[in-house]
Structure 1
Amino acid sequence: MTATTNAYVQPTTRLAIDELAPGMAKALNGLELAAQRTTLDKPLRELVKLRVAQINGCVYCVDMHSRDAIAGGDTWRRVNLVAVWREAPYFTARERAAFDLAEAMTRIADSEVSQQVWDESAAHFEEKELAELVWHIALINTWTRLGATARPWTLSGTEND
């Protein structure tokens, strides 16, 4: 009998975009700082970021936002089930509306954000919150697309962290 191993090789950095384009990196980091001072609660923001990171395939961002959600008090079960939020009973109507909008914005090349998705989001978020949510989704899409493309960051720690 042959032993099977599932050796994982961590992706290496393809392009050190932060160092090569520091002005752009600084501007994006400034936008991230502004986003941290919005009225949307952090647990919701982390779950939305996690969902977008999953869709865009950024291993660094999935890892970071999973950890941040748990560190912020969310449960392992909810974090683990974000990828299948439609079937999981553990999310509020407000969280579901945010996930739906995040998915629609992230997959905008496939279809526009439907009026139904927009109306459902508008029913659960005040106008200012909705504007902030749209910005958060746009920002995490930028981060995850940078991460999945250039792989400028690597995972740290151990599997058991």
Structure 2
Amino acid sequence: MSQRINAFAMGNKAVNALHHMGSQVQHSSLDSSFLELLYFRVSQMNGCAFCLDMHSKELRAKGETEQRIFLVSAWRECSFYTDREKAGLLWAESLTSLHGREISDEIYSEASKHFSESEMVDLTMAVIAINSYNRINIAFGAEVGTYKVPETAQ
């Protein structure tokens, strides 16, 4: 699919608000490498090729190993993710695949063992942001493969 609209270059107020929300999460107490891993996993679930390309490049620039990137969809079966990362990925997957269901008390309890109340809100906002970015990129046909990691991020 070719790009239909570049929603991020239009100056649209709603898209700008989403960008601001995502920026606030990036400046929260949550680890930026963990957030990239979370963004990558949610983008896998949503099938957003643009975001997979982007976040795989960001992860590599932050020094993430290929093994952890390649196997994040099987994080439950891997020993090289921390309990905190596993709890965050569980929370992210649960929020991404709601299908009209509530988040169970067990999932909330597991996540809240590893994240403070403030971090739980930031984590939830991060999941909301990446799901929104995925949907915008899928709807408007973002050009896959064009993302370059900003030099300041490397």
Q: TM-score range by the shorter chain?
A: 0.7 to 0.9
Q: CA deviation at 1:150?
A: 1.9
- For residues 87-109 of structure 1, what are the alpha-carbon distances to aligned partners after superposition, in whole Å with 9 as ceiling and x for unaligned? 22211111111111101000012
% identical equivalent positions? 31
The answer to whether structure 1 residue 87 and structure 2 residue 77 are counterparts is yes
Q: Which of 83, 89, 107 in structure 2 is aligned with 1:99?
A: 89
Return the alpha-carbon distance in structure 2 between the equivalents of residues 35 and 118 of structure 1.
Answer: 20
Q: CA deviation at 1:19?
A: 5.0
Between the two structures, name the one with larger relative contact order (CA 8 Å, sep ≥ 6): 2
Give structure 1 stretches of 5+ with no counterpart: 1-10
* 1:61 corresponding residue in structure 2: 51
Letter of the 1:122 counterpart: S
CA contact 2:50–2:142 (8 Å) conserved in 1: no
* 1:35 corresponding residue in structure 2: 25
Letter of the 2:86 counterpart: R
3-state DSSP of counterpart to 2:77: coil
The answer to whether structure 1 residue 139 and structure 2 residue 129 are counterparts is yes
Letter of the 1:43 counterpart: S
3-state DSSP of counterpart to 1:132: helix
Q: 1:90 to 1:103 in 2, by over 3 A?
A: same
Mean alpha-carbon deviation: is it higher for 137-146 or for 109-118?
109-118
**Higher alpha-carbon Rg:** 1
**Shift >6 Å, 4+ stretches:** none
Mean alpha-carbon deviation: is it higher for 81-90 or for 49-58?
81-90
Mean alpha-carbon deviation: is it higher for 30-39 or for 95-104?
30-39
3-state DSSP of counterpart to 2:4: coil
Relative to its length, the structure with more helix (as a share) is 2
Give structure 2 stretches of 5+ with no counterpart: 148-154
- The Cα RMSD (Å) is 1.7
3-state DSSP of counterpart to 1:85: helix
Return the alpha-carbon distance in structure 2 between the equivalents of residues 147 and 25 of structure 1.
Answer: 12
TM-score normalised by the chain length of structure 1 = 0.83
